[in-house]
């Protein structure tokens, strides 16, 4: 396997494991995160959908928690 392919595989596995772009940048020796993102942007795209799902869930949880807290406060 060529070295370039091994680097790409290592970056792919790191991103899939949840590594932050700055960690991948350092791992690959890029001077900036922009280089990493320009080169491997397609690998980070799946994270956007996951982020959206987590944000939706966290927002729903926060709304319910605030609603429950307000109801309990009104009972006192």
> pLDDT tens across 17-43, in order?
888 889 999 999 999 999 988 888 777
Average confidence score pLDDT of the chain: 85
Q: Which residues contact 12 (CB under 8 A, 6 or more apart)?
A: 40, 43
How much is the pLDDT for 29?
94
Q: Which residues contact 37 (CB under 8 A, 6 or more apart)?
A: 21, 44
Q: How far, in Å, CA of 23 to CA of 13, rounded?
A: 12
Q: Angle at CA 55, nearest 5°, toward 67 and 61? A: 25
Share of the chain above pLDDT 70, in %: 93
pLDDT of 46 higher than 70: no
Q: How far, in Å, CA of 14 to CA of 61, rounded?
A: 30
């Amino acid at each position: 396997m060529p070295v370039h392919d091994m680097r790409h595989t290592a970056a792919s596995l790191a991103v899939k494991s949840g590594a932050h772009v700055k960690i991948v940048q350092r791992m690959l020796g890029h001077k900036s995160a922009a280089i990493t993102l320009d080169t491997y942007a397609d690998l980070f795209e799946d994270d956007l959908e996951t982020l959206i799902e987590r944000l939706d869930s966290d927002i729903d949880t926060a709304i319910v928690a605030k609603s429950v807290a307000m109801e309990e406060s009104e009972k006192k």
